[in-house]
Structure 1
Amino acid sequence: MTKIGLVGLGKMGISHFSIANADPRAEIIICDASGYMLDTIKKYTGCTAYKSFDTMLEKEDLAAVIIATPSRLHAPMVRAALEKGLHVFCEKPFCLDPAESAALAKLAADKGLITQVGYHYRYVGAFQEMKRIIDSGAIGTVTHILAEAYGPVILKPKGKTWRTDRAEGGGCLYDYAAHPINLLNWYFGEPDRADGTILAPIFSADTDDEVYSTLTWNDGTSAHVSVNWSDESYRKMSTKISITGTKGRINADRQECQTYLRETTDALPEYEQGWNVRYTTDLTQEVAFYLRGEEYSAQMYDFISAVVGDGGNPVNDFASATQTDRTMAMMITDHQSAPTTKRAAPLVAKKKRSWLGR
């Protein structure tokens, strides 16, 4: 079996561990600062465990690492792994400084290493179908996009954690808005301008709970980003992309891809004039191990397959994630340069926090 290290045993780290550990091609070595987490997982799985990332890299003959730590730790950990010649899967966002993102993407490319960043929506069948339709030209010239994400994450003032501190890589922009922005980058590339960006608190004291911005490309295409993670009307995170073109429109979310065509086209012979609906359940390939959603398993299976030389074609490499990091940085710069009336953030009790993974 191929040895793969995993650092960070928080929410996403535990998910990635469960999926990767179920793959018979991989032996997972775990690392975290929490002795309790390490002891518990080691007890029930028998995995080798480390408290130090550097020690794990030094002592284990790893082929790859999975990094699921708080965002501010991504860059130094990714660099350490790449310099050891290891393939890397890193949770999103890739890096908080897009200059670091670009440097690490170049380092990985120069070394010929496999890289992946955890933007799992690219593995959702409905969003994959949306890309296929866009690329076919069936809806003509795209004129405008609405990229949305809403969910009930922060619903009241609460103590401080790394997820509620923008300097640590927390907040609605990095945690929620990054997903629809990454889909925009996948579909249309990197935008050239951000205007009217709002990064506003609702309940948080140190970061944004809602994100709004207009992105434009030099070819005239525009997109409006509308994201709020303090929206109790949604049971869980909901991401939706709506695209308007000269010959039709497409709406896609986690459940389905709806396409309206003004006329039939040879590029999509299975699609009729008018409305067409394709459901994610029909568009998604079965995965060997299901946890939370097929897309989480599919992205990890793709990464491990590429690492062990068994096919695999990761679609979220460091270069593409760098586009998303630069887009978010551009939005932050626009927000900081614009005179705005700031909403007063609530006062909350400060809470001691640790470096534990997500």
Structure 2
Amino acid sequence: MPESKIGEKALDSIIQEMIDTVTNSKDEIFQIGEQSRNEFEQLDRELNDTKKQVVEIIDAGDSLERQVRFSRMRLSEVSKHFDRYSEQEIREVYEQTHQLQMQLSVKREQEKQLRERRDELERRLRKLEDTVERADALGGKISVVLNYLNDDFRQVSEALEDAKEKQAFGLQIIEAQEEERRRLSREIHDGPAQMLANVMLRSDLIDRTFRQRGVNEALKEIKEVRGMVRSALYEVRRIIYDLRPMALDDLGLVPTLKKYLATIEEYNNMDIPFTAYGEDKRLDPKYEVALFRLVQEAVQNAVKHAEASKIEVKFELKRSLVNIIVKDDGRGFDTSQKKEKSFGLVGMKERVEMLDGEISIDSKLGSGTIIMIQVPLN
């Protein structure tokens, strides 16, 4: 048997072992996530009950404190006019004051313990929430790896000449998938996860607002929470759309861009005119996806960071060349200063380089930004 065949069989065996290991790991991570989620829900209920108990015991303590002050005033009055009261009356006043003080001390100690329990529950909830998020993110990554190992890798391995090429190609694909998952994880963490955390915090205030400030103020809080939920839903839909716009396969690049920009324009209440020139034809799927992502990233940068009111998008398709111009009237930035964590521009430059294209960014503070992209169609 040729040496290459033996190598391929050995590598296939290793891949199968990887699949089994990753599958088992995914099941374990899922169990950890479910256990953490169940514990989170249980602790969240306990936290709500504890918060109610804290409020109740504070009210009871305040009431006792008023009674203690009144009893002390009564005791002071009896002490000043000792000759007016009998020994029995004096003893009763003293014992009543002492008993109220003891009850108040007990209430304050209970309040302290409940506050400590509440703070501990909040800390545990934050840790559990982080665990659930990590488990979900890691589970998603492992699902991608499993899909790749089960489907694409089998087909690709048959086309590769030997085991070394197969291994190198597989590592490149996994690295690209992992980078995409990291980007998605950042977007979920900075977008919907933060918004939902704020919704949870604001929802805790609604009950207190209702009791302390009335129905109208509580309704205002509910309206604000509704707006936050709407924003979170939009972010989730946008992220799902970012993963793979289905219209791209059915309609093609230009109609998908037109639909996408119209949606962004409507949601953000801004002007995004789109103009398409040149030939009306379908491109290779890899070009359609890449070009769509470039326009998407440029527009999202203008919406999120430039505070623009108008974004112009021009798309020109020639026989062997694509030109893209994205211009906004936002605040602009100094291109000579490198910003930390500027993942959007870095990703655009890397994507253009992979297509053997060119990108130029012209921007000045207060003068908006113009992004010009040119990609050859090989």
TM-score by structure 2 length?
0.21
TM-score by structure 1 length?
0.22
Based on CA coordinates, which of the two structures has the bigger radius of gyration? 2
Q: Which protein has greater RCO, CA pairs closer than 8 Å, 6+ apart?
A: 1
Which structure dedicates a bigger proportion of its chain to helix? 2
